[in-house]
Chains A and B, each alone.
Chain A
């Protein structure tokens, strides 16, 4: 029998000894206080320690030892559904905060740890298109960004080198760019089969960019194609910031305080930030003083903390003179279309998340009944339990016909995940829940989110087109889910950037309009969402903001 050993929980809490930093002393007043040790906070920490700033990061989670992730366990699928669930409400670790998502069409996913959600992401890392930054000008919707693709291009490159990007140049759907440091992950038999179907239709496809090593890179192993990359990578082949940015930043002097839950950004009489109050594991309150605060707590955690940080100078929450903190929440809606292809028999082999990508329907086409567009990510099948439970679809039927249903799906599934551009709407919000709290008694966030009609039409289109591809590939059965409710991986827009302080929270350098020593560098600052995974873009934005601080804000260095 394959049951969890009693030591699983203990093993998961082992702190990586070479980089353990809990309890490490920080300078009394840090130059830079970063809230959150995930994708963007790590990038800023590395860049600013390089530039000679003293950096302290407060992280409510802990270090995880990659050697003990679920994929080394016999019962990895059960752990993935419970202790390692992507949904904090289902996972329920004490360092997670719950989210009231009862009035949201999509449930948010996140992970509290050093490395943040890069621990459990699938590391699919395409870039935004130039058009994504100019949707108002091009299509008359939402707003343009105050920066351009070209502004971010060098930072995309820098991030690709630090995180480690596998991929190949020549994609006709995107602008020319510098080479990736590693060749692409092999497509596998299933990927080549699907690529041929796209080719026969004359539709675009290209091998996915992945922050997964196709060859050994910077001391980390190459991927061995085990499959479930979403539960952490024991080989460190999948990039996460606990194994790349943070070790470098710590070597340069950065300090991370783990199990440090920030309850408030503190404000001086001049209305500027003075640091943050935080609670340790025992519930003791501490204050970390700082010359500057960098918010990197994701598109829900950051507005939550800003709304919790009320003061005389900021009565509606910190940085909220525009009233836009917590508004314009964007997810990427996912429509999942799965085909079962008899010619394929082992679609569990290889990274689950991203075989190849199609951007055939990415840009606005006036002949369609929606504006903007979507991309496809090709996902593989999964292990026996996840197959039986249906993944994005109905579970395998119980009773008569059970085994036939299972056999038709297992090893034969390929999913076209349609990821759509979600446009900002002010009624989609993050607020503070009046009853629900985290394990420290702090208010939990409440999400109000309704998918727009434009996005619904876009997702319907993606199902029709995916069905065409899957039929071309020989699928004998196709299942479709027009909106994956549990698909809120990407949290964006809740403290957006702009030139006008009345219509935005931060400027193009991520500096707050209301307090010049507070910066926001996570997905909160996105003006629009694009139709690709946001992490390379938010990390590029974070690195750019760090360079602005390094070059223009010497006053923040003690």
Chain B
């Protein structure tokens, strides 16, 4: 579990990587969030936003306490089915903090260049390039233009 100065231990980082892989699993040949090596980046990102940091630490605390009471070796020693059940248990017990934790995992995963490429999203900010739209076509108004005015007149 996290030490009192609220830094993650090596064991925490192992657990975090595994949990991230279960939150966003691998798909085909493409690794999950943990397998992409995003745990370190997630940890750094959490330092920037206190609310998300709190969610991360609370969830890791809860996971450690929950698992430690059940099995020697903790979370890492569980099989996948039980790991998922343990995560679901934390989600049920601490819905707000778990939601903040998932938010942090998503923020880390869905802003990664490799993920962008995998899902077909251009790896660039919206500006300055923008996008193209098909030009305005006034003929599309043909039907609606013929509708009688129906706004409500007032005297």
Contacts and interface: CB of A to CB of B under 8 A. Distances in A.
A516 interface: no
B153 A130 contact: yes
A168 B139 CA distance: 12
A131 B152 contact: yes
B93 interface: no
A508 interface: no
B127 A349 contact: no
A387 B120 CA distance: 14
Contacts, number: 174
A183 interface: yes
Contacts of A173: 149-151
A78 B127 contact: no
A158 interface: no
Interface residues of A, number: 75
A234 B125 CA distance: 12
The DSSP consensus for interface residues of chain A is loop
B137 interface: yes
Interface residues of B, number: 56
A187 B135 CA distance: 8
Contacts of A410: 119
Given A76-B126, A168-B138, A227 B111 contact: no
Contact of A225 (B109, B119, B131): B131
Contacts of B125: 71-74, 76
A531 to B, nearest CB: 12
A389 B41 contact: no
Interface string B122-155: 0111111111111111101101110111111110
Nearest to A385: B110
A170 B136 contact: no
Interface of A: 1-4, 69, 71-78, 81-82, 129-131, 133-134, 137-138, 148-149, 168, 170, 172-175, 183-189, 192, 195, 198-199, 204-207, 214, 223-228, 234-235, 348-350, 363-364, 383-385, 387-389, 395-396, 398-400, 402-403, 406-407, 410
Interface of B: 22-25, 27, 41, 44-45, 48-49, 84, 87, 99, 102-103, 105-107, 109-113, 115-116, 119, 121, 123-138, 140-141, 143-145, 147-154
14 contacts: A78-B111, A82-B49, A172-B145, A172-B149, A175-B151, A183-B136, A186-B133, A195-B144, A226-B129, A234-B128, A235-B127, A384-B115, A398-B102, A399-B23
Given A1-B113, A168-B141, A388-B110, 13 more contacts: A2-B113, A71-B125, A72-B128, A82-B48, A173-B150, A192-B137, A192-B140, A198-B144, A225-B131, A226-B126, A226-B131, A348-B131, A364-B152
